[in-house]
C-alpha cells in the first residue's frame, strides 16, 4: 500500500504524519498482505521502533538519484 499521497515508499523519503510531524524513512518492508510498512526517524531525533503502515504518511519530498549512465541521455 502506498503513502496516503499515492507514491510507493522508498528509503530516504521525507514524510509527515497526520500531525504534520516530519521524518525520514529509514526502512521499507513489503509485507505479504501488500501493505508496505515503513520505519521513520523523526526530525526531532526520535525513531519509530515498529514498522507502521505507509498509508499513515504523506510524501513531502524525495531525493532524485542519478547514475552515471543516465545523466544527459534519454532511453526509450
Here the CATH number for the domain that contains residue 26 is: 2.30.30
The reported pLDDT for the residue numbered 19 is: 92
Average pLDDT of the residues of the chain: 83
- The count of structural domains within the chain is 1
The reported pLDDT for the residue numbered 49 is: 67
Residue 24's domain comprises: 1-76
If pLDDT is split at 50, 70 and 90, which confidence band does 11 have? Answer: very high
Cβ neighbors of 59 (< 8 A, separation 6 or more) are 3, 5, 7, 13, 14, 15
Residue 18 exposure: Cα atoms within 13 Å on the Cβ side: 5
Cα–Cα distance for residue pair 45/16, rounded to 1 Å: 14
Q: What is the pLDDT of residues 24-61, one digit of tens each?
A: 999 999 877 778 899 999 988 887 767 899 999 999 99
Between 61 and 66, the more confident residue is 61
Residue 10 exposure: Cα atoms within 13 Å on the Cβ side: 12
DSSP letter (8 states) at residue 47: B
Amino acid at each position: 500500500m502506498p503513502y496516503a499521497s499515492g507514491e510507493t515508499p522508498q528509503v530516504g523519503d521525507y514524510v509527515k504524519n497526520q500531525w504534520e510531524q516530519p521524518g525520514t524513512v529509514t526502512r521499507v518492508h513489503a509485507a505479504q498482505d501488500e501493505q508496505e510498512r515503513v520505519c521513520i526517524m523523526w526530525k526531532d531525533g526520535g525513531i519509530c521502533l515498529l514498522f507502521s503502515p505507509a498509508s499513515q504518511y504523506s510524501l513531502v519530498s524525495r531525493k532524485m538519484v542519478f547514475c552515471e549512465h543516465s545523466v544527459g541521455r534519454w532511453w526509450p
